[in-house]
Amino acid sequence: MSSPVLVLARQGRVLDKVGQQLVRDTFTTAFMKNFIVVLVWFLLSYINGSVVATFFRHQIFYEDPRYILFIHMVINDAVQLTVTIALFVVSYALYTISVGVCCFIILVAVFTTRSTPVNLAGMALERYIAICYPLRHAQICTVRRAYMLIGAIWFVSVVPDITDLFVTLATEPLSFFQTTVFCLRPNVFKDPVLLYKRQAFDGIYFSLVFLTLLCTYLRVVFAARALSTERTSAKRATNTILLHGVQLLMCLLSYVSPGVEGILHIIFPGRILEIRFANYLIVYILPRFLSPIVYGVRDKKFRKYLKRYFVCGRPVDTRVECKGEED
């Protein structure tokens, strides 16, 4: 999987394989690219901040496992976006940074990127239990278990890649971490075995998440056909799981993006920097817009509180209705 750190760090300067020349952005192009990504960061930070503020201002949400998992994913995506965009700007301003700092940035970006699909699988399972086992939902899906699931998400996200750091510490002298490098994952975690390990883990990891989403979607669809009363809820649940599937597919785009970049480079020679910038926006930025939309906009209960706070323009008590608001 091509990490967002790798894609970002290659943006401003790249070696043209044909001409063997270092291709760089002009000052105007570099400024516009940085302006766009920082503007996108401000926009997404405002959206995510709005959602997080709405969540924590109303007790009804942080006592519901469904919304706890949702807000965890929003915060996770916000951290991932902040780290990668910070590296984007630094790669233009400083070019090389300390190996120790680079290690930290890469690991944070990888951990937050990996945790998103697992979080999607957990949210899909919660919807499956709510529709297929409604009488047991309150017993199975508790707040305590939601936080335990978040802990498990971070465990499976951190452990496979923290080994890269341990291997590097064992194979490289300590002086290596005091040098400066262009912050690419291969420049820091050099052992070739780590690449094969990462590819094997990615295949298993995404296969399990995909199967989880597929199985929960099919079970909810079958349950919706059998139910005579909760058809509307079941339909909303299937649509939500479908959106989770779309998010997962967008995460999987990182697998094919290097190949697509190569093909586009052949079709549009000399445009590799523009191709990689567009690839970053589509593959790594666009999915971040979906997280707050799935519940922040589609979910009726959350949307109602979100409108109360932001349409009215100030925080209000949950008992107070905005003028003209429909329940």
Please state whether the predicted TM-score (pTM) of the whole model is above 0.85. Answer: no
pLDDT of residue 151: 94
d(CA 168, CA 190): 8
CA 207 vs CA 157, 200, 213, 288: distances in Å: 15, 11, 10, 21
d(CA 5, CA 87): 7
How many Cα atoms sit within 13 Å of 86 on the Cβ side?
14
List pLDDT tens digits, range 89-129.
887 787 788 888 888 888 898 888 888 888 888 888 888 88
d(CA 208, CA 124): 13
Three-class SS state of 21: strand
Burial category of 271 from C-beta neighbours within 10 Å (exposed 0-12, middle 13-18, buried 19 and up): middle
pLDDT of residue 288: 75
CB 41 within 8 A of CB 85: yes
List pLDDT tens digits, range 215-241.
888 887 777 677 655 566 667 777 777
Q: How far, rounded to the nearest angstrom, does the alpha carbon of residue 132 sit from its chain's CA centroid?
A: 28
Largest CA-CA distance found in the chain, in angstroms, rounded: 68
d(CA 55, CA 61): 6
pLDDT of residue 255: 66
**Residues whose CB falls within 8 Å of the CB of residue 196, separated by 6 or more in sequence, listed in order:** none
Range with lowest mean pLDDT among 127-131, 204-208, 230-234, 321-325: 321-325
Residue with the larger pLDDT of the pair 193 and 249: 193
pLDDT band at 152; cut points 50, 70, 90: very high
